[in-house]
Amino acid sequence: MHHHGNDPARKQRFKQRLEILRDSNLHQEVRKHLAAKHWNRRQWLHASLFASIGVMLATIVPGFSSALKTSVLPPLEQQALALPALQQVQANAAGPQWQTVVVQPKQTLGGIFQNAGAPPSLLTDVLADKDAQAALRHLHPGSELAFLHGADGEVRGFRYDRDPIHRVELTVDDDGRLHQNVLERESTTREVVISGKVGDSLWFSARKLGLTPANINALTDDIFKYDIDFSEDVAATDRFSVVVEQTWREGELVQSGPIEAATFTAHGKLYSAFRFGEDGKAQYYSADGRPLKKAFIRMPVTYTRISSTFGMREHPILGRMRAHKGIDFAAPMGTPIMAAGDARVVFVGQQNGYGNVVILDHGHGYTTLYGHMSRFGKEHVGQQVAQGTVIGYVGMTGLATGPHLHYEFRVNGEHRNPLSVTMPPPEPLAGAQMTAFRNYTADALTRIHTVESAIYADAPDTAVASAAKPGKGRNAHG
- Dihedral (Cα; 171, 173, 176, 181), 10-degree rounding: -30
Q: What are phi and psi of 421, to 5 degrees?
A: -60, 140
Q: CB of 353 within 8 A of CB of 322?
A: no
Question: pTM here?
Answer: 0.53
CATH architecture of the region 188-290+429-476:
Roll (3.10)
pLDDT tens, residue by residue, 223-238 = 988 888 887 778 899 9
The beta strand positions in 351-473, using DSSP E, are 356-363, 366-376, 384-385, 390-394, 404-411, 414-416, 465-467
Alpha-carbon dihedral 449, 452, 457, 459, rounded to 10 degrees? 170
Please state, as a whole number, how many other Cβ atoms lie within 10 Å of the Cβ of residue 443.
15
pLDDT digits (tens, 9 = 90+) for 283-338: 999 988 999 888 888 789 886 778 777 655 555 555 555 667 788 999 999 999 99
pLDDT bin (cut points 50, 70, 90) of residue 27 is low
Alpha-carbon distance of 367 to 462, in angstroms, equals 46
Angle at 29 between CA 27 and CA 33, to 5 degrees: 115
Helix (H) / strand (E) containing 247: strand 239-249
pLDDT at 277: 84
Q: DSSP 3-state helix, strand, coil percentages of the chain (rounded to 5)? A: 30, 30, 40
How many helices, marked H, and strands, marked E, lie in the chain? Answer: 9, 24
Cα 223 to Cα 273: distance, rounded to the nearest angstrom: 7
**CATH class in words for 305-415:** mainly beta
pLDDT (0 to 100) of residue 77: 56
d(C-alpha 357, C-alpha 375), whole Å: 9
Burial track 267-282 (b if 16+ CB lie within 10 A, e otherwise): eeeebbbbbbeeeeee
The ranges assigned to domains in the chain are 93-184, 188-290+429-476, 305-415
DSSP class of residue 263? E
Count CB-CB contacts under 10 A for residue 144. 11
- Segment (H or E) for 347: strand 343-350
Check for a shared fold between 93-184 and 305-415. Answer: no
β-strand pairing of 465-467 with 414-416: unpaired
Decide if pLDDT at 249 tops 90: no
What's residue 278's pLDDT?
75
- Express each pLDDT in 365-396 by its tens digit: 999 999 999 999 999 999 999 998 999 999 99
- 467 backbone dihedrals φ, ψ, rounded to 5°: -70, 150
Q: Which CATH class is domain 93-184?
A: alpha beta
- CA pair distance 30, 37, nearest whole angstrom: 13
In whole angstroms, give the CA distance from residue 33 to residue 272.
111
25-29, 248-252, 409-413 — which one is most confidently predicted on average? 409-413
Query: Looking at 28-32, 228-232, 339-343, which range is the least confident one?
Result: 28-32
* The predicted structure's pLDDT at residue 259: 92
Distance CA 388, CA 432 (A): 31
The answer to whether 182 touches 167, Cβ cutoff 8 Å, is yes
- Identify the pLDDT of residue 310: 63
